Amino acid sequence: MHVSGGGTSSGRGLRVNGDPLWLRLLLIGSAITITGVLIVIPVVYVFVQAFSDGAGAWWSQLTEDADTRHAELLTLSVAPAAVLANTIFGVAAAWTLTRFRFRGRLLLLTLLDLPFAVSPVVAGLCILLIYGSRGWLGPWLKQAGVQVVFAWPGLFLATTFVTLPFVARELIPLMESLGADEELAAVSLGAGPWQLFWRVTLPNIRWGLLFGVIQCHARAMGEFGAVKVVSGGISGQTDTMPLRVEKLFQEYNNPGSYAVASVLTIMALATLTAAWALEHWTNRRPTPSGKEL
């Protein structure tokens, strides 16, 4: 149920637009106020706060605190790893669910949406109950000397859980609408599985795939609730950037907190810009909710 795209401008909207000028101005004014107060002012505020002591102070907030530096590196490793896992999953799931009809297909499609509905906190708790010291696998993991919860693997599992559907949900409607004709032709001409994927399927889905990856990454780097539950909140060890924002905020270190928040905001804005450019460049219009099977 992720939402993407938009900008549904139809030229004919103008033709029937019989609204009087005052009404138009009133509605446009309200729309500007709503987006301004809810969305634009908060973003501006992040940067004003982050740079209130100048760019130099901002930079030293980001680079001089060892725990903050660690959080940055941690987010840079956890988020891409989760995105990679979910990209492999997304391509495999989209291929299986759109190119074959089998019993249990609808069940898998429904399960795919589960992370959209489950609260991130509950997701984190679920992981804790399996891998935690008193969880199902806890004693066994302890014997094997593997630390999952309060460590990198836990952060990875929690982030992957929450972002699981993003790539798959982008690809499924796309591959469904493309159909399998080209792939069937390639197979009948003797293409092997890898040839089929690299030469036929991937070129057709590459923009949709990129779009899904971008959205998955935005969500992965910003994940908070699920990661917080499994992280244990150990500064300099298991704090990702969003968790660092909270910790600095609780320590009344506003400049530090806003500096980290501003980096996350820049990444979010970059995500939006990339998604927007991709949409206009490839002229594709993603469905408002990827459910049209």
Partner 1 sequence: MVRRGAGPGNPLPGFGAGLTITVAWLGILLIIPVLACVARAGTLGPGEFFSAVWSVRSRAAYGLTFGTSAVAAVLDVVFGTLLAWVLVRYQFPGRRLMDAVIDLPLALPTAVAGLVYSGLYVKSGWLGQFLVPLGIQGAYSKLAIVLVLAFLGLPFVVRTIQPVLAGIEPELEEAAASLGAGRLDTFLRVLLPSLRPAMVTGGALAFARGLGEYGSVVFVSGNMPLRTEIAPVLIVQKLEEFSVAEATAIAVVLLGASLLALGSISWLESRRQTDAR
Neighbouring CB atoms inside 10 A of 121's CB total 13
Q: Which of 78, 97, 141, 205 binds partner 1 (CB under 8 A)?
A: 97
Binding of partner 1 at residue 143 (CB under 8 A)? no
- Distance in Å from the first CA to the final CA of the chain: 13
Binding of partner 1 at residue 157 (CB under 8 A)? yes
Q: Which of residues 177-236 bind partner 1 (CB under 8 A)?
A: 179-180, 183-184, 187-188, 192-193, 196-197, 215, 218, 221-225, 228-229
Cβ proximity to partner 1: between 66 and 108 the closer is 108
Q: Which of 41, 66, 84, 146 binds partner 1 (CB under 8 A)?
A: 41
Least distance from partner 1 to the Cβ atom of residue 81, Å: 13
Q: Which of residues 46-75 bind partner 1 (CB under 8 A)?
A: 46, 49
**H or E element, residue 141:** helix 138-144
Structural tokens at position 91: 């391509």
Cβ proximity to partner 1: between 63 and 273 the closer is 273
> Tokens 């109950």 appear where?
129
Q: Which of 54, 134, 144, 283 binds partner 1 (CB under 8 A)?
A: 134
Binding of partner 1 at residue 40 (CB under 8 A)? yes
Binding of partner 1 at residue 78 (CB under 8 A)? no
Q: Give the relative orientation of helices 54-64 and 66-99 as an angle to the nearest 10 degrees.
A: 80
Least distance from partner 1 to the Cβ atom of residue 45, Å: 5
Per-residue b or e along 35-58, where b marks 16 or more CB atoms closer than 10 Å to that residue's CB: eeeeeeeeeeebeebbbeeeeeeb
Q: List all residues 6 or more positions away from 7 whose beta carbon is below 8 Å from its beta carbon.
A: 279
Contact 120, 159 (CB under 8 A): no
Cβ proximity to partner 1: between 95 and 207 the closer is 95
Contact 259, 50 (CB under 8 A): yes
Cβ proximity to partner 1: between 83 and 245 the closer is 245
Q: Which of 57, 62, 125, 210 binds partner 1 (CB under 8 A)?
A: 125
- How many Å apart are CA 145 and CA 155, to the nearest integer? 18
Least distance from partner 1 to the Cβ atom of residue 83, Å: 14
Q: Which of 77, 276, 282, 284 binds partner 1 (CB under 8 A)?
A: 276
CA angle 283, 288, 293 (to 5 degrees): 100
Number of chain positions touching partner 1 (CB under 8 A):
120
Rounded to the nearest 10°, the torsion over CA 275, 277, 282, 288 is: 40
Least distance from partner 1 to the Cβ atom of residue 111, Å: 6
Binding of partner 1 at residue 87 (CB under 8 A)? no
| Amino acid (one-letter) located at 232 | G
Cβ proximity to partner 1: between 3 and 234 the closer is 3
